[in-house]
Structure 1
Amino acid sequence: MCQLTLPDAVHVDVVVSAACFGTTLFLQQPGHPTYQQLAKMDGAVRRHYASSGQQSAAVPPLPRPVNPGAVCVAPSAAVGDDGENIWHRAIIADVFPESDSVLMKFLDWGGYEQMPVGKLRQIRTEMMHLPFQAVEGHLAYVTPLLRPDQSADAQLESLSAIIQSRFLAGRRLKCQVVYYNHTWQPCVYLYSREPGAPHWRCIQEDLVLAGLATWFCMPRVPPQLPSPVA
């Protein structure tokens, strides 16, 4: 099993494939040599695991008991053009025995979903060769501004949607790893540039200016905007 990582301290082109928990992002690297193979992998997973696929009936379920860290294939809530749920490579993040369910993290496209254990399927050996493409990271130095009289989970979900629609959609993105959190996940500055714009913007600065986040009360490395021609 191989998970892609982000290079330290340098600017790298990224695509945000999913966002959750307010400031958590899943980052793909379109410039990485293995990224071009992702579409082929997605097609292979779909052929083998979708209910309409010729080989879906022969795919065994994941053996029980299931444990965190097990890599398998799971259906996402996203639906394809044929009306079927889209299957992805995934890993068990948590197990809930009382409800016979698990929390899954999708390894190529990011995001978390809770689902019954019975939906999980064993992964084929040849589907383990491509490195997992989505790197889970966090916006560095900022925390969401939440109202005490509203549900924190609902506010964080709303913030993730706002970040994607107002600050990321249609823009070119670069990130820069500045430190790692206590679980060794990268915390990044995220930079955006709109089509035709001459300069890059720092997403964190935009979120703070919009009143959606606040800076940590700690010393921080200032953002280093990419050059206009980058």
Structure 2
Amino acid sequence: METHQIYSVEGGRDNINKCMRMLRRRFPADRFPDLNLQPVLPPPIPLPAHYDAKPTQLMLPEGVRCEVVVCSIVDAGHFFVQQPTHPSFESLHRLNFYMLAVYNTAIGIPELPRPCGPGLLCAAPANCGWYRAVTISYYEEHDEVLIRFIDYGGYSRLPRCDLRQIRTD
């Protein structure tokens, strides 16, 4: 496409619109009829047919210094960290807000099935909020589940009836 040039304009919607108006004033349509200022959008990303319910675990890059925050300590050799400079860290606060809004009212959200095996993704109450967790083991005699918190680390043993199936939406 030697006869075409595509420019990328990034920013907030108001600033993008202002930039496009400035470009149109600089290059009026009557003098530059071939100049197209319409957005060129990439093709939509196809949605996967099946969502993987398993959480993604970030890995620390080897040989590179990485800023981390210790968020849970099990013992001196077993602790959990977060990477505040990772792009996904920004959405953690929003996820916490939505988890609280959705799971604080337990109406219509089923609890975990009995018996529940290891590796089930669930929502667990802790510290006045709801957090993503994965089941580690089930204690049938007490109907309790050992869970690991996905985003903050740490473990907790909770009654199965307190845990909720996680919504995929």
CA distance, structure 2, for counterparts of residue 125 and residue 5 of structure 1: 24
**Partner AA of 1:95 in structure 2:** Y
- The aligned residue for residue 156 of structure 2 is 113
- The aligned residue for residue 133 of structure 2 is 90
- The aligned residue for residue 81 of structure 2 is 27
CA distance, structure 2, for counterparts of residue 8 and residue 93 of structure 1: 28
Output the aligned Cα RMSD. Answer: 1.2
CA distance, structure 2, for counterparts of residue 86 and residue 23 of structure 1: 27
- The aligned residue for residue 191 of structure 1 is none
**How far apart are 1:99 and its partner, in Å?**
1.3
**How far apart are 1:15 and its partner, in Å?**
0.7
2:100 maps to which of 46, 55, 58: 46
Structure 2 residues not aligned, in runs of 5+: 1-53
**Structure with greater proportional strand content:** 1
TM-score relative to the length of structure 2 = 0.64
CA distance, structure 2, for counterparts of residue 6 and residue 97 of structure 1: 36
**Partner AA of 2:139 in structure 1:** F
In 1, are the aligned partners of 2:96 and 2:129 still within 8 Å (CA)? Answer: no
**How far apart are 1:23 and its partner, in Å?**
2.6
CA distance, structure 2, for counterparts of residue 99 and residue 70 of structure 1: 19
Task: Give the 4+ runs in structure 1 shifted more than 6 A.
Answer: none
**How far apart are 1:10 and its partner, in Å?**
1.5
Matched, 1:37 2:95: no
User: What secondary structure is seen at the aligned counterpart in 1 of 2:136?
Assistant: strand
Percent identical residues: 39
Residue by residue over 1:96-130, the C-alpha shift from the partner in whole angstroms, topping out at 9 and shown as x without a partner, is 1121111111000111111111111010113xxxx
More off after superposition, 33-42 vs 3-12: 3-12
- The aligned residue for residue 71 of structure 1 is 121
Choose between structure 1 and 2 for higher RCO, CA contacts under 8 A separated by at least 6 residues.
Answer: 1
Counterparts of 1:183-198 in structure 2 under 5 Å?
Answer: none
CA distance, structure 2, for counterparts of residue 116 and residue 5 of structure 1: 31
TM-score relative to the length of structure 1 = 0.48
**Partner AA of 1:64 in structure 2:** R
Residue by residue over 1:202-227, the C-alpha shift from the partner in whole angstroms, topping out at 9 and shown as x without a partner, is xxxxxxxxxxxxxxxxxxxxxxxxxx
**Partner AA of 1:17 in structure 2:** C
Residue by residue over 1:135-184, the C-alpha shift from the partner in whole angstroms, topping out at 9 and shown as x without a partner, is xxxxxxxxxxxxxxxxxxxxxxxxxxxxxxxxxxxxxxxxxxxxxxxxxx
Structure 1 residues not aligned, in runs of 5+: 79-84, 127-230
CA distance, structure 2, for counterparts of residue 63 and residue 93 of structure 1: 14
**How far apart are 1:64 and its partner, in Å?**
2.3
1:17 maps to which of 58, 71, 84: 71
Counterparts of 1:1-230 in structure 2 under 5 Å?
Answer: 1=54, 2-51=56-105, 56-76=106-126, 78=127, 85-126=128-169
User: What secondary structure is seen at the aligned counterpart in 2 of 1:62?
Assistant: coil
User: What secondary structure is seen at the aligned counterpart in 1 of 2:70?
Assistant: strand
User: What secondary structure is seen at the aligned counterpart in 2 of 1:3?
Assistant: coil
